[in-house]
Chains A and B, each alone.
Chain A
């Protein structure tokens, strides 16, 4: 077990965004967190990534408590993340963006550059490496988010809606990239996703969040048959 959340809660001015959420991720698996808008998915991400400290509950990563640590400490511990609203270093080139991430493990510029070029190739961004990040299209910016996070050599990767806004073929390419990374490096992935096509194709385990609570957990097949899930969320999406 690589990550464990125990009874984690977080309120914003009285609004309880996450209520006693508990779940664990098995090392090497691809996991998805789904739920309707406002269910608390991004809040859970931000709690794991250290943007907020939980009001109560504990978060344990690789046997160590990480709740209350700063985002940079959590990244250094081995958790990489992307942002739902992409935050490229707009004035820097694509390569330089990724190098910032690579510098976490590779202190010298040549090494960081080598690692970054490998990752850019993996994500199909190598031909755009010298362009300023501000000139990229949205799908490329999403890829850049992933490339930067991967460059920190994480053991757990948090993906916050990286498929949103991608065309189905682009989405499938992305899925293939994550499958490959998961298979080759044994990287554990936790994704928040609305695009069920990607969730079903990637995730071995799904947690369903509703009003800040985990209401169902299991394999994709189990989850989509769960009446509680159907009621709150998947009820309309009959094609799934």
Chain B
């Protein structure tokens, strides 16, 4: 199994990955609280970017509503914890089920009736917006006044209830990101991965080669939604507050797809590189502005816009493919 996973992976690539992993593991021992928070964000965006990439990068289905899955996942686990004291590790079962179901409903409506391309993207936005407005009036999770998780000063990490230090959250997110990376790598080499890429490149040709395109597009949406929900769970327990206006907002959906777009859609490493570049640079710039004493609202958005513009103009396949050639991978 492991042998097959490693087959054909260049030694250099493996060594670099191992080095990166070690670096990420030791990072909290040296990082300040602020840097650790940035590190968590980078991993968070790398993970959700990877999940989104399954749908868009592999199967070619553009989702602009992934905040729906982040939000549903977050709310499901948080509400179960707040109301019944259920551990998020159990609650995430509900999150996964709920998001898989939501993904299946959206996928079914779209693919059964031949909705594709931009129209599919609009449908995903619509569902995220339904959720945003619906949750504003959903009293069980406190509606628009927000759902808060009980917070105390924790002397030790309670991993079972996800209560504890930022370093614990960082490691949980790191484990998720690493697992997603390995999973996507394995998927790309499987029959399902080949079928996804075929559907992305030419649905008609894929179908003529015996691929049930409806079924495989459904797999992509459901898997992507389920994976994204896990990020939502961690997000909820890390920030301890949830507002429909924020978590379901379209800007959150856009934010999470920038990483893979800038890193390289459809590549394994793209979401990681994209998240590192975007979040790292954006936070670095914010810090710089703070030091300089200038405060410009919305500077992060402008920065994202410029990054996107540059990548679209000069590196239409993202940063990673040319970088990989430079590194001889």
Contacts and interface: CB of A to CB of B under 8 A. Distances in A.
A151 B194 CA distance: 14
Contacts of A99: 194
A70 B207 contact: yes
Contacts of A19: none
A100 B198 contact: yes
Interface string A165-181: 00000000000000000
A71 B208 contact: yes
A131 interface: no
B59 to A, nearest CB: 13
Most buried by A among B200, B208, B213, B266: B208
A81 B205 CA distance: 9
B260 to A, nearest CB: 16
Interface residues on B, range: 20 to 34
A103 interface: yes
Interface stretch (A89-97, A191-199, A223-231): A89-97
Interface residues of A, number: 30
Nearest to B211: A72
Contact of A49 (B190, B191, B208): B208
Interface string B204-218: 111111111100000
Contact of B194 (A80, A87, A91, A100): A100
A120 interface: no
A100 B211 CA distance: 8
A100 B206 contact: yes
Interface string B190-201: 110011011011
Contacts of B190: 109
A112 interface: yes
Contact of B191 (A90, A91, A107, A152): A107
Given A87-B204, A90-B201, A91-B201, A149 B209 contact: yes
A75 B204 CA distance: 12
Nearest to A76: B210
A48 B194 CA distance: 26
A101 interface: yes
Interface string A114-128: 000000000000000
Contacts of B189: 109
Contacts of B202: 87-90
A83 interface: yes
A108 B194 CA distance: 11
Contacts of B211: 72, 100
6 contacts: A76-B210, A88-B205, A89-B198, A96-B197, A103-B191, A149-B209
